[in-house]
Amino acid sequence: MINKRKYFLLLSVIIFIASPETVYLKDFKGAEYRTKESYLYGRFEVRCKSTYREGVLASFFTYYDGGTGVQDWNEIDIEILGRYGNDVQYNIITPGQMDHVHHQFVNFNPHLDFHTYAFEWTPGYVAWFIDNEEVHRQTGEHIQTLIREQKIMMNIWNPAYVGWIGNWNADALPAFAYYDWVSYYSYVPGSGDYGTDNNFTFSWTDNFDSWDQSRWDKATHTWNGNNCDFIHENAVLQNGMLILCLTDSTNTGYTDLQKPSLLWARANNDNDKIFLSFTEELDEASSENAANYIIPNVTINGAILLQDMKSVELSVSGINPSESYNLIVMNIKDRAEANTILTKAVTIVKAQPLSFPVKINVGGTATMGFLEDQEWSYTKEYGYLDGTSTQWELSIEGTEEDSVYWADRYGLVTYMIRVPVGSYNVKLMFTEKVWSESGVRVFDVYIEGSRLIDDLDIYNQAGFRTAYESNFSNIIVDDEVLEIHFCAEEDNALIDGIVIEQSNTGLLNEPAERIKSFTLEQNFPNPFNGSTIIRYSLPSEGNVKLKIYDLLGSLVFSDNLGLKPPGEYEYKWNAYNNYKNPLSSGVYFYSLEENNRSKVKKLILLN
């Protein structure tokens, strides 16, 4: 990840010429809204919906703008990147422009609906919250360097760093980020009535009914690495919201005159579905009208607008795998229903199914039956979205596959592999080749929305330059893409290799017939010391969340387990709280929530 101002001097790009008009140097125009006042400590909250555009981010953050140089840098970030549909990025930037980045997996798409995001900044910690639940906390020496008063800011912009932000496409403009309100609570330890330990008290809320010029400024600056200028016209107060706009230099403000455009079309492995990707969110009625799609000599049986509102799934019949096909799209409107796509034809990309077992040398070249690493795209069957590869040539203990462990990809967030709907066994391969002490590199790993590795410290598990494997069975894939998500806690996540084997491709159809009710079983063992297993069953697909409470009813641990298909599951709990600290002995209650229902049972921890 590249800090949005790192290694660059902040620049003003406003040039005053003979006339009093302002001339901006960049082709694209963004917006930033910032407080006049600066704040030292507190709880900072916003309710917002970000923009779903690759190459763009929307933010809520605090920043010290005293202008005394990088040696005094203080900044706390919430940044939502448009390239991810399930991730929120947090960062603290400390003197010397040192980044402390964490990617938070979320079981919702932050671009599709409003959510409340917050962070608490105190002398001892910074903690981030989503919808009033703490999801990440940083402590340590770097927190002690956050001593500068900071302004509250929000912006939308298109960074120049493809590896971090993804590929920019100007045809996807305009992009809008919506802010419903912002609240600030001052830090008053021991005398407050809000937030963690009631250490905060309400100061103010702005509902954005109008531009309060006594509180807020609209920015007019940019910096190297930012591909847009901030202008007043693109910070719009309308309909009780602040709307930050990213536009071209002509059609500024909260207006959309751009026609939607088809980016690509791809067939699935069975050639009975075609997936289409568009530049922007679509009108449901026109996008689901099968008559608006033509594939010569192929029957289109139906069209469905998918959840991201930018993708369409066509059900088709009559495709010959050995032939090439073109898709023609017409008469489709965007969400504003004011702009209609120009008739366009694209060649349908054919799937090239992988052979099992799928073995990938992440970060490296083809070796020992492992495939070469590659970047993910609509034409590829697997690949990384981000991260940096490194190559080594050294002895690795505990393996005969040294050449696989020589290469790795670090700083990555997402790896994707196309597979048929079914159940899979997954092996992840790691080795620590840089740090020779525990606690320096720590990260979580999610597979298909479930956190399956918590606080992995490779050195602590295996030692220095020694192979370490994590194996998982019966990973269910119901959308033909197996997604692996990495969330760094300390330093950067990394991986050396991935191996995927089929376990039971018919598993998805079995649970619905076998499981008749939503069940939560008694944990085992119980009482327990160290860790325990919690088993549960779902008769239908649902969003699942596990919560654990103490005897006083205080929430001590929660985990969003994501969208789960029907099936039987087990969850290993290590008796930690949300801050990764071990809990004391006692009686606790564990609650499993699924959609609008829940079940509760009691467990006993003996340390």
Show which residues are catalytic.
75, 79
Q: Do 227 and 28 meet the contact criterion of CB atoms below 8 Å apart?
A: yes
Q: What is the DSSP letter of 196?
A: G
User: Tokens for 317?
Assistant: 């019949």
Rounded distance, CA 86 to CA 81, Å?
Answer: 10
Q: Are strands 15-16 and 22-23 parallel, antiparallel or unpaired?
A: antiparallel
| Sequence-separated (6 or more) residues with CB below 8 Å from residue 68 | none
Q: Do 373 and 363 meet the contact criterion of CB atoms below 8 Å apart?
A: yes
Q: Angle CA(226)–CA(230)–CA(233) in degrees, nearest 5?
A: 150
Neighbours of 301 (CB within 10 A): 13
CA distances from residue 396 to 173, 457, 458, 464 in whole angstroms, order as listed: 48, 17, 13, 9
| Sequence-separated (6 or more) residues with CB below 8 Å from residue 20 | none
Residue 414 falls in which region: left (phi positive, over 0), alpha (psi -120 to 50) or beta: beta
Chain centroid offset of residue 471 CA: 24
With b for 16 or more beta-carbon neighbours within 10 A and e for fewer, the 202-211 pattern comes to eeeebebeeb
Q: What is residue 109's three-state secondary structure?
A: coil
CA dihedral 554, 560, 565, 571 (to 10 degrees): -70
Q: Do 441 and 492 meet the contact criterion of CB atoms below 8 Å apart?
A: yes
Q: Are strands 358-361 and 371-372 parallel, antiparallel or unpaired?
A: parallel
Cis link prior to 525 (omega < 30° from 0)?
Answer: yes
Chain centroid offset of residue 586 CA: 35
Backbone angles phi, psi at 212, to 5 degrees: -85, 95
Rounded distance, CA 124 to CA 118, Å?
Answer: 17
Which residue matches tokens 């990147």? 81
321, amino acid identity: P
Neighbours of 377 (CB within 10 A): 12
Instruction: Count CA atoms within 13 Å of residue 41 on its CB side.
Output: 16
Q: Do 352 and 267 meet the contact criterion of CB atoms below 8 Å apart?
A: no
Q: Do 59 and 76 meet the contact criterion of CB atoms below 8 Å apart?
A: no
Rounded distance, CA 3 to CA 5, Å?
Answer: 5
Rounded distance, CA 347 to CA 368, Å?
Answer: 35
DSSP 27-43: SEEEEEEEEEEEESSEE
Rounded distance, CA 271 to CA 250, Å?
Answer: 43
Cis link prior to 20 (omega < 30° from 0)?
Answer: no
Rounded distance, CA 342 to CA 327, Å?
Answer: 13
CA dihedral 277, 278, 281, 286 (to 10 degrees): -90
DSSP H or E stretch at residue 511 = helix 510-514
